[in-house]
Amino acid sequence: MGRLVVSAGIANLGDNIGPGGGGNFMNTYTFSNDVFWSRGAHSLKFGTLINRIRFRGNEAGNILGTYTFADLPRMLLGEANLFDVQNPGPELRVAYALSSFGFYLQDDWRVAPTFTLNLGLRYEFINTPEETTGNGGGVRDLIRDSEPTLGPDLFENPSLRNFGPRVSFAWDVLGNATTSLRGGFGLLYDVANFSRAPLSLYSEFPQFGGESSVLDNITFPRTAFTPGERSNISVFDYYLQQPHMLHYSLTAERQLPGSMAVTVSYAGSRGINLMKNREGNPTVPIQVNGQDFYPVGAPRMNAHYGAMEFKTAGSDSWYNSLQLSLQKRLSRGLQFQSSYTWSRILDTTQGQDGGESGGTRIVGLDPHHPSYDKGPADFNVPHSWTFNTLYQLPSLGIGGVGGALINGWRVGSILSVHSGTPFSVSLSGNRSRSLVESGRTPDRADLVTGRKPEDIILGGPNRYFDPLAFSIQPVGYLGTSSRNMLQGPRTVNWDFSLTKEIPFPLLGEGGRWEFRAEVFNLLNHTNFFIPVGVGRSGARVFTADERRPSLLAVTNPTLLPTAGEITRTVTDSRQIQFALKLIF
């Protein structure tokens, strides 16, 4: 006998994603339909997910200009080191429309009483995103084009061959449901998660005039501005590659006495062609003693433009983890779970917008050599342990009013310990003259010979790391310290709860009062953020910016007083709350 089940759904989702409630908006219509069919040893599932996506933007852009200062003292003196402003051009207005289509087929095949094989295939693609207001276009040849190519297509469609196989298995090793082995592999595609990218850069599209930057002789406030000959522009990669990820895992689980189970897992992934933001028109270095050197006035690859914010799918990631778990199911009033993960994730920078970054900007410092920016991802947390428990206090067998007050108490607790996220150590500005992002991205400092990350961390918020482990590199060269080489402070948190249920028969058999007392951060432990903040001051060690000679500190380099300083926390202080709930 077979069994057939059909389910369907439709939804309309809208989201204003403009800064401060501005004019950037995305709307998604979603339709899904799934069919489940069981017959014999096979359980088939097949269905579809269709999304109709619209996103549009009509922000005013950077028409008033933006000043950038090296540090707080320079800001108080009105000494800006960079001025950006929108060039005159057509009205800033774009709107894109696209649809994504996903179809899947999966067979859960019970090969034997102790072995199940899961086989699946997913095909998902998008149609080519089109600009619908007549303002589409961009630079297609980053090196040779002097004018934007106008047209509705945002990029050439890379998704039409997105066949994603899935295979997994579950094996009852001993045949008595006490020991299991599970594993799986899947090829996953990211087909429509890029709407944030064009909406974060369209105001600098070349068809709108782009932006101009001033690096020298900046007055504050500036009352007049003449657009430069080489505009800074933003470009979405017309020849976009398809972001995808290989995911694989293997898990062993064993039942233990006392209603407990232990699980050991390996999980990993390999990300390919992930979305990233990089300098699309870098200056061209020369070779000096086998190293890249940026001379004064080094030309950009495309002489027709200045800096170029380039959204492309060109990043890689590597993730490996060992995961351990011990779980006790509820018995005799007690349940708990302890989970530990030891992991490492590396990438070559990734992300679509600056708000996604942690200790490092999402723009790599060396677009000529991506390996220079390979390092721990901003969200790399090597060690993570969490323990939670719930205990039902035993009843004392007392009835009446006394029993109502004494019986029915539960105690709960969650304890978590996590490694900190990583960060890079930088200078105050663009010492190398690479002019990535018009020089807005500071260079990383040189690492002093013989110093290693494990002996650089000092701990404490006043000077978390030793800034003397770093130095100012020679002018024209990139720093030797690696991206995200230092790990931030760990986070420790303990939450506690006490709950009590009191029957309330007047509201029926299930009527009851529930009292809850909760304490967050029970020990009032201070958990510090990484030493970055406004201007990333704590991660900057020296004032050195080749764009402004007055900011140089070469002969007598002066350590910044804020170097290594932590000014933020990641958790709140102790908080206590009480609640009373009536259930009927």
Secondary structure, 3-state, 492-515: EEEEEEEEEEEECHHHCCCCEEEE
Q: Is 289 left (phi over 0), alpha (psi -120 to 50) or beta?
A: left
pLDDT band at 468 (very low <50, low <70, confident <90, very high): very high
Q: What's the pLDDT at 548? A: 55
Q: Where are the beta strands (DSSP E) in 226-333?
A: 233-236, 244-256, 260-279, 286-288, 291-293, 308-331
Pairing of strands 233-236, 308-331: parallel
Question: What average pLDDT does range 511-532 have in this prediction?
Answer: 91
**Region 295-302 average pLDDT:** 91
Confidence of residue 160 (pLDDT cuts 50, 70, 90): very high
Query: Do residues 583 and 514 lie in contact, with contact meaning Cβ atoms separated by under 8 Å?
Result: yes
**DSSP type of residue 148:** P
pLDDT over 50 at 18, yes or no: no
- Token pair belonging to 43: 């359980």
Query: Could you tell me the pLDDT band of residue 553, with boundaries at 50, 70 and 90?
Result: very low
pLDDT score at 558: 73
Categorize the per-residue pLDDT at 556 as very low, low, confident or very high, splitting at 50, 70 and 90: very low
Residue pLDDT, tens place only, 74-126: 778 877 777 878 887 777 888 888 899 999 999 999 999 999 999 999 999 99
Average pLDDT value over all residues in the chain: 86
DSSP-assigned letters across all residues of 33-60: EEEEEEETTEEEEEEEEEEEEEEEE---
What is the rounded distance in angstroms from the CA atom of residue 439 to the CA atom of residue 82?
8
- Comparing 16-25, 51-60, 218-227, the range with the smallest average pLDDT is 16-25
- Phi, psi dihedrals of residue 451, rounded to the nearest 5°: -85, 140
Query: Regarding predicted confidence, which is higher, 563 or 192?
Result: 563
Give the predicted TM-score (pTM) of the model: 0.87
Candidate from 45-54, 186-195, 389-398 with smallest mean pLDDT: 389-398
Is the pLDDT confidence value at 71 over 60? Answer: yes
Helix H or strand E encompassing 172: strand 163-172
**pLDDT value at position 391?**
95
Residue 282 confidence class, pLDDT cut points 50, 70, 90: very high
Which of 452-466, 504-518, 527-541 reaches the highest mean pLDDT? 452-466
Give the model's confidence band at 225: pLDDT under 50 very low, under 70 low, under 90 confident, else very high.
low
Instruction: Please determine, for residue 69, whether its predicted confidence score (pLDDT) is greater than 70.
Output: yes
The yes-or-no verdict on residue 232 having pLDDT over 90 is no
- Provide mean pLDDT across the span 275-283: 92
| 466/503: higher pLDDT | 466
Whether residue 449 has pLDDT greater than 50: yes
Q: What is the pLDDT of residue 124?
A: 95
Residue 93 is predicted with a pLDDT of: 85
CA–CA dist 210, 447 (Å, integer): 37
Q: What percent of the chain has pLDDT over 90?
A: 55
Does residue 334 have a pLDDT over 60?
A: yes
Q: Which residue has the higher pLDDT, 523 or 65?
A: 523
Residue 3 pLDDT grade (very low, low, confident, very high; cuts 50, 70, 90): low
For residue 228, the model assigns a pLDDT of: 57
Q: For 140-149, 512-521, 548-557, which range has the lowest pLDDT when averaged over its residues?
A: 548-557
Which pLDDT score is estimated for 21? 43
- Integer Cα distance of 476 and 294 in angstroms: 5
Nearest to 496 by CA among 557, 411, 583, 434: 411
Identify the pLDDT of residue 552: 44
